[in-house]
Amino acid sequence: MSPLQNKTDPEHLLALQQDNESALQYFFNQYYDALVYFAFDITKDIAVAEEISSDAFLKLWHHRDQFFKVTSLKAYLYRVVKNASIDFNRVNKVAQKNEHGYQYLTEPTEKAIEEKIIAAETYALVLAALEAMPAGYQKVFRGIYLEGKSYEELAQEMDTNTVNIRNQKFKAILFLRKKIPLTILLMLFFI
């Protein structure tokens, strides 16, 4: 058992300041998925988003003695990821296709950044709840909502019928609603 197991965030922060790599791993596990989602929302490139998020933890390690609150550590990680993502877009002049042809991605406004952070945090909550979900519900939820599969595709893949897939989807949503307030789930789909 790790000496940091069952410790609070402030205790992990203190351990991080004392050069404990397990504490860095703890914060990586806490925030990595949300940071990747946040970076991807800006860069539109998953490999770049993963690299930027990993680099943020490297920078955190180099500046670990500067954090005295978990909230400032979290804000630092989001700021590093935001700046690196915007820099990536600037340097690579990333373009996105819209109804008028190609348009270069512009720097997001502060309001847009706040919305992206809220979406990333909500996404992290959903992923954490998914990990606690029974395997069958999890597979159906991931298949439909994260991988875009149809009921028929999942039914064939899971060797069952579409009625069972619909029932498992319904039960998966009920499970999530017990774990995560409905207002938070709705934010994920409307931001």
Assess contact for 191 and 108: CB atoms under 8 A: no
Q: Which domains does the chain have, with CATH numbers?
A: 6-108 (1.10.1740.10), 133-191 (1.10.10)
Q: Read off the pLDDT of residues 69-118 as tens digits, 9 standing for 90 and up.
A: 878 888 899 999 999 999 998 888 755 544 444 544 556 677 777 888 87
pLDDT tens-digit readout, 29-40? 989 999 999 999
> In sequence order, which residues have a C-beta less than 8 Å from that of residue 55 and are 6 or more positions away?
80, 84
Q: Is the pTM of this model over 0.85?
A: no
Q: How far apart are the first and last CA of the chain?
A: 40
Burial 126-161 (b: 16+ CB within 10 A, else e): beebbeebeeebbbbbbbbbeeebebeebbeeeeee
User: Can you name the residues that pair with 96 across neighbouring β-strands?
Assistant: 103
95-98 vs 101-104, strand pairing mode:
antiparallel
Residue 183 predicted with pLDDT over 90:
no
